[in-house]
Amino acid sequence: MSTPDCLFCRIVAGEIPATVVRETPTTLAFRDIDPKAPVHVLVVTKEHYADVATLGQGDPALAGELLATAAAVAGDEGLLGDGFRLMFNTGGYGGQEVFHVHAHLLGGAPLGPMLA
Ligand code: 5GP
Ligand code: ZN
């Protein structure tokens, strides 16, 4: 179900433009508007879940589809050899700002320690 005030639901609906790099029936991958690495792609489920905890418990198969899309994009972007980071900011302590589940796919350069 789409949530009208949600930024990523609006991107999924095509109401806000985004640079889409991969789409499946259930997921969408698009470039982050403020990239933190040479490759910075966000991978979302088209269905609205607030965060990865809600998604993982509510629809584990869909969570798997999100991971499969992230892995496919990592391949498309040439990240599989050198490696990459895939992360879900979750809740306040996790630094989550957009409450529609999204994986950050980061790569293209050494990323350093995770909490630096
Ligand atoms: P969070 O902190 O919730 O894990 O990350 C939200 C991400 O969404 C940030 O990296 C931010 O740059 C990105 N973002 C925010 N607004 C937009 C937008 O309108 N379009 C795109 N493509 N990315 C956005
Ligand atoms: Zn949403």
Q: Which of 26, 21, 36, 44 is nearest to 102 (CA)?
A: 44
Is 114 contained in some domain?
Answer: no
Is 14 contained in some domain?
Answer: yes
CB under 6 Å to ligand 1: residues? 7, 16, 18, 30, 32-34, 89, 95-98
Give the pLDDT confidence score for residue 88 in this predicted structure. Answer: 98
Task: Give every residue of the chain whose pLDDT is below 70, as ranges.
Answer: 1-2, 116
Report the domain count for the chain: 1
Q: How far is the CA of 6 from the centre of ligand 2 (A)?
A: 5
Cβ(107)–Cβ(77) under 8 Å? yes
Is 73 contained in some domain?
Answer: yes
Is 38 contained in some domain?
Answer: yes
Give the pLDDT confidence score for residue 116 in this predicted structure. Answer: 54
* pTM as predicted: 0.97
Is 113 contained in some domain?
Answer: no
Q: Which domain holds residue 44?
A: 7-107
CATH number at residue 47: 3.30.428.10
Asked whether the ipTM of the predicted complex exceeds the cut of 0.85, the reply is: yes
Is 55 contained in some domain?
Answer: yes
Is 17 contained in some domain?
Answer: yes
Choose the residue to mutate in 20, 42, 43, 86 for probing ligand 1, maximizing ligand atoms within 8 Å of C-beta: 42
Sign of CA dihedral 102, 103, 108, 110: positive
What is the distance between the alpha carbons of residues 77 and 9, in angstroms, rounded to a whole number?
A: 24
DSSP H helical segments within 26-78, as ranges?
Answer: 52-58, 60-76
Give the pLDDT confidence score for residue 1 in this predicted structure. Answer: 61
Is 116 contained in some domain?
Answer: no
